[in-house]
Structure 1
Amino acid sequence: MRLTLLFLDTDNDYFQIYVKQEGNELYFSDDGYTINSLEIAGFTMTPNRRKQLSSILGQYGVQLQKKELTLKAPTNQFAPKKHAFVQCLLHVSDMYMTSRTKAGSFFLEDIQYFFQKNEIYCMENVQFTGKSGFSHNYDFAIQRSKSKPERLCLAINNPTKTAMGNAIFAWGDTKPSRRNDSQLIVFLNDSNNVGKGIEEGFQSYDVSPIRWSERLKPENISLLTA
């Protein structure tokens, strides 16, 4: 049996759940829709997010089987268990909204996961003192190798002209204290809008912008690896 619920998901579609009865037991399922919708929306299931998901499922007694959310219940508890299952789906779907409100920290987490998966070895959250005497923080520093220079990286979750200006100022102040061939790479979260002229602005200062959606392009992987 398929039930359509009066709740909207991240795509503004109505939630649907499936209920099957076997003897005196009911089986609720979302047929994998909730997790798949998150992934289609660009949500990466990192270890911290998986821990958050497990906590939500534990509150409602819901199980995760591959990507399918399921709940088993006695037939005489249909109403309360259906309510619990629906509340669980809503909370899991809200993880997408949480990722947007806490996007800065989650964007960093996505980059860390991407680095680990592609064996890009780096130091995290490094600080350098610039020519002005001010200290500037960089999210990642990739050590120089025989063929590549030192590369500092910044994650820019909201790629606006203000964010670009701040990054360029920090780099202009930092660069004189680093090796002449040191480079700055900025990751632009293009799930948010990338402001007009942002990439060109960075390039005019010899800064390499990488759109997050294009991180797997061979030229970007080459830029990051030793």
Structure 2
Amino acid sequence: MITADSLKQEYMDWMNKQIKIHDNEDFIEIQTPFVDMHHDYISLIFTKLNNSFKLSDDGYIIDELDQMGVSLNQKGKRYDFFEMTLKTFGINFSKSTGELYVEFKSLREFPERQHRLIQCILKVIDMLLTTREKTISFFTEDIENFFIENNVLYNEGPSYMGKSSVSQVFDFALPKSKKSYPKLIKAVNKPSAQSYKDPLFSFIDIQDFKSDHEFLVLANDTETKISDKFIEPFNNYNIKVLRWTDRKNWVDNLKVI
């Protein structure tokens, strides 16, 4: 007969088999049975402080965010999500070390604190597992904030029916000024050798109908070096590629004067 106690025992037996704890000189590493976005087991670091204990992810989550080009240095949707997640699970964040951590006075608090930290890590990992479209939205959010700060007039998300009879969506449209044509902008978060295809097709598909427009690509080179194979196809169609890290030098050219 299956009882609540037998189910509880089955779960505890599984946990005891899955969790692995390794002693080190200054800390204890706890390998949990929960996996990250790479399907690696999530490990936590347990340390003894002067009058308390500390459980930490050793900066793993923030490091993964940085490697994916997701910055938490500026206020915005991603930072709000991150901050809200920390508050929900009562987890601390160290800006100096990048650690997610929790401190407690008694070892009796350890199981509950570990459970909360793991839940927080899994929730933040959801940010890392965003689709390409959501990753792009983070970059377009940065562009939008930059335009607002620098008084660049824009419309967000315009779409036009192309020659292919498919609606082509652009990230931004900038109005005409006395000195320049109206502009259509595509944002590319990871300008690799292959990522030129979709934005280039969008421009080609509407060029007959928008011949009075200038076409621009804003390429995020914060973490990824822009490949020459990415730039060359756009150059062949007289489409400018603007580097995000060089934005202070080209922003004045986008203003309506």
Please report the TM-score for the alignment, with normalisation by the length of structure 2.
0.63
Q: Confirm whether residue 91 of structure 1 aligns to residue 123 of structure 2.
A: yes
Instruction: Flag the 1:124–1:6 CA change in 2: closer, same or farther, 3 A.
Output: same
Residue correspondence of structure 1 range 35-50 to structure 2 within 5 A = 35-45=62-72, 47-50=76-79
Query: Which amino acid in 2 is paired with 1:88?
Result: C
The structural deviation recorded for 1:124 is 0.3
Q: Confirm whether residue 3 of structure 1 aligns to residue 35 of structure 2.
A: no
Aligned to 1:152: 184
Aligned to 2:233: 201
CA contact (8 A) 2:56 2:101 kept: yes
| Distance (Å, rounded) in 1 between the aligned partners of 2:41 and 2:228 | 31
Q: Secondary structure at the match of 1:43?
A: coil
CA contact (8 A) 1:10 1:37 kept: no
CA contact (8 A) 1:18 1:31 kept: no
Q: Confirm whether residue 64 of structure 1 aligns to residue 93 of structure 2.
A: yes
Aligned to 2:140: 111
Question: Where do 5+ consecutive residues of structure 2 fail to align?
Answer: 1-25
Q: Could you tell me which of 179, 195, 202 is aligned with 1:167? A: 202
Q: Secondary structure at the match of 1:79?
A: helix
Aligned to 2:169: 137
Alignment coverage as a number of residue pairs: 215
Q: Secondary structure at the match of 1:200?
A: helix
| Distance (Å, rounded) in 2 between the aligned partners of 1:50 and 1:115 | 16
Instruction: Flag the 1:142–1:3 CA change in 2: closer, same or farther, 3 A.
Output: farther
Q: Deviation per CA, 1:2-39, whole angstroms, max 9, x where unpaired? A: 3334367779797453434555x534344655324422
Aligned to 1:17: 45
Instruction: Flag the 1:147–1:115 CA change in 2: closer, same or farther, 3 A.
Output: farther
Computed over aligned residues only, the root mean square deviation of the Cα atoms, in angstroms, reads 3.9
Q: Secondary structure at the match of 2:209?
A: helix
CA contact (8 A) 2:44 2:56 kept: no
Question: Where do 5+ consecutive residues of structure 1 fail to align?
Answer: none
The structural deviation recorded for 1:204 is 1.4
Aligned to 1:73: 104
Query: Which amino acid in 2 is paired with 1:19?
Result: T
The structural deviation recorded for 1:107 is 1.2
